[in-house]
Structure 1
Amino acid sequence: MASRRDPYARVSHALDQGKRRVRLGVAAPAQTLRGSQSSLWDCITKLRSQARQEILSFDDTSYLLAHDVPDPIQQRGPATLRAALGRGARVRQVTSRAGILADQQLGAIVYRAGGEARVVDVVPLKLSIIDRQTALLPLNSAVLAEGFQIIRDPSVVSALVAVHQTLWNEGAEPEGMERDLPPPHLAAILPALASGATDEVAASRLGLSARTYSRRVGELLTLLGVRNRFQAGAEAVRRGWL
């Protein structure tokens, strides 16, 4: 029995039960989609455009940075959510403090545009549920743009909705958190720093020169009042930035 408190275990249990239902012939298998990031987002956009009541999601913008998702692809997710809001659908996102930190410039967490959000320590995976009927689950657990499954088994979707509701109930309101965060031009540095990537790789992911990235790391150390990157990570965790 999956722990009621462990979202990872509950998601894993739901998926295992779904596979069992497929083997028993009482549920259709999930549809797996792979391809270019652009073609995958064309499919996601079409599916989300069908939302008339609600989109529930786990979203963490820091995952996009860690997986080097190109800027044009990063922009498409928020656009689909804002379009849903424009149609009168409800958008409820669960994110993390790291996600809020990394999101100050992108705006993928759309609570300022009429959506709703809650902040937890860590989101278990990337997830999008459309009208409580269709779930989109990434193959790598982090980003949809690298391939995903379309799950329509009502039993599995209901279990994923329940996990979302649990974390939603446990989460905090995002309003006011920005006052405790670093300025936007330094916000993306921390997730990149925590990923362990070299300066060259991290700079490339952020669209910066290596020199600019190094300068911003130095600025971040000064802001945190520490001498090195290890101390910066520890202090960022203490402040709840990571």
Structure 2
Amino acid sequence: MNAHSMSVLGLTSTEEDVYRHFLRNPGTPQRRIPGTSPDERETVLRAVARLRELRLLHGDDATTWAVDPVVAVPRLAGEQLDAAHRTMRQLVDMRPVLRSLRHERPVPGAAAPGDAAAALVRLEDPRAVRARAGQLAFGARSEVLAADPCDALTPERAAYARHLDLGRLSRTVRVRVLVRTTALADAESLGRMRHLHAGGAAVRVADQLSETVLVCDRHAALVPIDARDTGRGALYTEESGLVSSLVGLFERLWATATDFADLAAVDTGRTVRLTDTQRLVLTAMCAVSKDETGARQARMSLRTYRRHISDVLTLLGACNRAQAALLARERGWV
């Protein structure tokens, strides 16, 4: 392509010739455009009309001026960039085209992955679940919401996390991640949280979290078939009512969770030692989500259990249990 051609800016050769003519001959009438035969006259008039529509020519038929190139070229370039951006966004999400074509030739059997006509798509193979999670995350354009109630980063969860690759995503889209307080006691889970936080993701920690949720662009969601056994597979949906409900659930949990950024370790500069009872209570607090369960494990009353937790928080200089779990993990106490 000629580097001096205006075709890259969306003009035809005739439109460019007309524009250049009025740059050289400002204030002249349209009828003086040279080299215009009767057969070409209609093409030239269409070019003039479009140049006026693009605001590259002003004046009337008797006196016409071309807009200064310093103004015209950036304007045309901006319009071409906007058009290219719209095209790229359409190419990223081909589901509307796919649905349209599928309606032309119905295919018997299960609905295709992106077919909104299917309220739920059941995925029972863990590899299929990881692949769909990766596809969802890769195609995200604005936001990813992820809630993970696991206490430890098992090999299965690690593989799932690799497919999501939220650390990479957080550099291009808004990523929000919810985890359980008890996960702070797991070294690999804690490392993953730090990685996500350093990459730009917003991470919060919740005491009460039992739902595994993945929502992308508030358009599609992935949830486990059985919340107690994620190995049984997942359900994928694009049904707006279901997705909205999951987003609402996530937002309620998010509003009451503690920001991971506020849980940074605080070195008080003094040696702190826990009694055996305090260490037992701390271990229980990091392992369970309910005080009643922790008190039973520690074999003490609920009131005594909570008093010991308060003492442990004071010793650690922690503002809340999530921060206490993080500090205890960093000191090697749990």
Smaller-chain TM-score bracket: 0.5 to 0.7
Q: What's the CA shift for 1:179?
A: 1.7
The yes-or-no answer on 1:85 pairing with 2:135 is no
CA spacing shift, 1:143–1:92, aligned 2, 3 Å = farther
2:121 and 2:235 in contact (8 A); partners too: yes
Secondary structure of the 2:191 match is coil
CA spacing shift, 1:142–1:84, aligned 2, 3 Å = farther
The yes-or-no answer on 1:226 pairing with 2:226 is no
Q: What's the CA shift for 1:143?
A: 7.2
Q: What's the CA shift for 1:42?
A: 2.1
The 5-angstrom pairing of residues 32-181 of structure 1 reads 32-35=122-125, 37-62=126-151, 64-65=152-153, 68-70=154-156, 73=159, 75-77=161-163, 80-86=165-171, 88-102=172-186, 103-107=189-193, 110-141=196-227, 146-179=232-265
CA spacing shift, 1:177–1:137, aligned 2, 3 Å = same
Q: What's the CA shift for 1:141?
A: 1.5
Secondary structure of the 1:104 match is helix
Q: Give the letter aligned to residue 115 of structure 1.
A: A
Query: Structure with the greater relative contact order (CA < 8 A, sep ≥ 6): 1 or 2?
Result: 1
Q: Give the letter aligned to residue 137 of structure 1.
A: V
CA spacing shift, 1:143–1:114, aligned 2, 3 Å = farther
Secondary structure of the 1:117 match is strand
Q: Which has the larger radius of gyration?
A: 2
- What is the root-mean-square deviation in Å for CA atoms of aligned residues? 3.4
Q: Which residue is 2:29 aligned to?
A: none
CA spacing shift, 1:109–1:168, aligned 2, 3 Å = farther
CA spacing shift, 1:131–1:235, aligned 2, 3 Å = closer
Secondary structure of the 2:260 match is coil
Deviations 1:193-240 (A, max 9, x none): xxxxxxxxxxxxxxxxxxxxxxxxxxxxx9753269854544647252
Q: Give the letter aligned to residue 150 of structure 1.
A: Y
Deviations 1:51-90 (A, max 9, x none): 011001212341x54xx4347515515x52123223x211
1:128 and 1:137 in contact (8 A); partners too: yes
The 5-angstrom pairing of residues 208-223 of structure 1 reads none
2:167 and 2:195 in contact (8 A); partners too: no
Secondary structure of the 2:241 match is helix
Secondary structure of the 1:105 match is helix
Secondary structure of the 2:190 match is coil
Q: What's the CA shift for 1:162?
A: 1.2
Cα distance in 1 for partners of 2:278, 2:258 equals 31
Q: What's the CA shift for 1:44?
A: 1.4
CA spacing shift, 1:85–1:97, aligned 2, 3 Å = same
Cα distance in 2 for partners of 1:114, 1:59 equals 18
1:33 and 1:148 in contact (8 A); partners too: yes
Could you tell me the TM-score, scaled by structure 2's length?
0.44
Q: Percent identity?
A: 21
Deviations 1:162-201 (A, max 9, x none): 11112222222112424279xxxxxxxxxxxxxxxxxxxx
Gaps of 5+ in 2: 1-115, 292-308, 314-320, 327-334
1:34 and 1:40 in contact (8 A); partners too: yes
1:133 and 1:154 in contact (8 A); partners too: yes
CA spacing shift, 1:134–1:234, aligned 2, 3 Å = same
CA spacing shift, 1:101–1:175, aligned 2, 3 Å = farther
Could you tell me the TM-score, scaled by structure 1's length?
0.58
The yes-or-no answer on 1:31 pairing with 2:81 is no
Per mean C-alpha deviation after superposition, the further-off stretch among 88-97 and 48-57 is 88-97
